[in-house]
């Protein structure tokens, strides 16, 4: 199994929304906001090459949204999804699977593109796309908190094209492919899926929006976007305890600097779990 980060650029989100109840005087030292209280975040996807498959985990925001939408989130940076794949020697046709942790626009926007005829079509023409039925139904009938994050143009065309498949939801971690297990979590949104990837040496957890950055390792650091924040706390405890005790490596989708890291127990702080080493994948 070969893992590679795929950078798709940066965007901005409100610092208070990203850090929840943590006071600005604390979180602003971690990710300093601009004059509009917006912080810069990455949209970091993952390429998994295994068993003859090239699997893309999440797709970033994409580039099909209009100027008004983009003005809210200020996408920027030199990287893009397709350019990053090209640097790996891959064309869109080479991707066999696109795994979508959940259907918020900054995770699945690049899954669909506008073709030369102005039609919305899958961005990866030979790929099977993966979600789950419970989350898809949630995205199709969004609550008021998440309505602005679920844009149907990012995922309904996949269903209409017949390329979307649903993974059965389970209460326990399930094997999806050799070396890849999935965990279903519910704090951030309904039935988000976390890939747990095991190569010959290490276990990696793609944290998606349960722990979106290294700044969110601390327990109180839970996003205000989460629909069930207390459940996010429980889910974080499980991920962090396993990571500290078993040496799992955590991949952060939104951290603007740190893409992957270990965590350790700081005995000087009564065993509190903190970031260990920042790592390259």
Write down the pLDDT at residue 270.
77
Q: What is the DSSP annotation of the chain?
A: -EEEEEEEEEEEEEHHHHHTTS-HHHHTTTS---TTSEEEEEEEEEEEEETTEEEEE---S-S-S-HHHHHHH--BSS--HHHHHHHTT--GGG--EEE-S--SHHHHGGGEEE-TTS-EEESSTTPEEEE-HHHHHHHHS--TTTTTT--GGGTHHHHHTT-EEEPPP-SS-EEEETTEEEEEE-SSSTTEEEEEEE-SS-EEEE-TTTS-SGGG-STT---TT-SSHHHHHHHHHHHHHHHHHH-PEEEPSS-SS--EEEEEEEGGGTTEEEEEEEE--
Block means of pLDDT (10 residues each) for the chain, length 281 residues? 97 98 97 97 98 97 94 96 98 98 98 96 98 98 95 98 98 97 98 96 97 97 98 98 97 98 89 92 85
Assign residue 79 the CATH number of its domain.
Answer: 3.60.15.10
The domain in which residue 141 lies consists of 2-279
Write down the pLDDT at residue 111.
98
Q: How many domains does the chain have?
A: 1
Write down the pLDDT at residue 268.
80
């Amino acid at each position: 199994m070969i893992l590679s980060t795929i950078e798709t650029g940066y965007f901005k989100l409100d610092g208070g929304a990203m850090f929840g109840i943590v006071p600005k005087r604390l979180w602003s030292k971690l990710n300093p906001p601009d004059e509009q209280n917006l912080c810069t975040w990455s949209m970091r996807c993952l390429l998994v090459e295994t068993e003859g498959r090239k699997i893309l985990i999440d797709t970033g925001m994409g580039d099909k949204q209009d100027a008004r939408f983009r003005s809210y989130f200020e996408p920027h940076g030199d990287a893009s999804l397709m350019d990053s794949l090209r640097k790996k020697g891959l064309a869109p046709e080479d991707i066999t699977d696109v795994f979508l942790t959940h259907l918020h626009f900054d995770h699945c926007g690049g899954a669909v593109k506008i073709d030369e005829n102005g039609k919305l079509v899958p961005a990866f023409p030979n790929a099977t796309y993966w979600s789950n039925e419970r989350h898809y139904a949630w995205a199709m009938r969004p609550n008021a908190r998440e309505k602005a994050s679920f844009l149907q143009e990012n995922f309904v065309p996949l269903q209409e094209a017949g390329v979307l498949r649903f993974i059965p939801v389970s209460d326990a971690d399930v094997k999806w492919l050799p070396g890849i297990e999935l965990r279903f979590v519910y704090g951030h949104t309904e039935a988000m899926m976390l890939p747990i990837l095991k190569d010959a040496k290490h276990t990696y957890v793609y944290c998606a929006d349960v722990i979106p950055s290294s700044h969110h390792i601390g327990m109180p650091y839970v996003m205000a976007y989460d629909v069930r924040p207390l459940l996010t706390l429980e889910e974080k405890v499980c991920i962090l305890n396993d990571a500290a005790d078993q040496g799992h490596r955590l991949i952060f989708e939104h951290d603007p600097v740190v893409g992957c890291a270990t965590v350790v127990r700081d005995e000087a702080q009564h065993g509190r779990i903190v970031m260990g080493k920042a790592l390259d994948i």
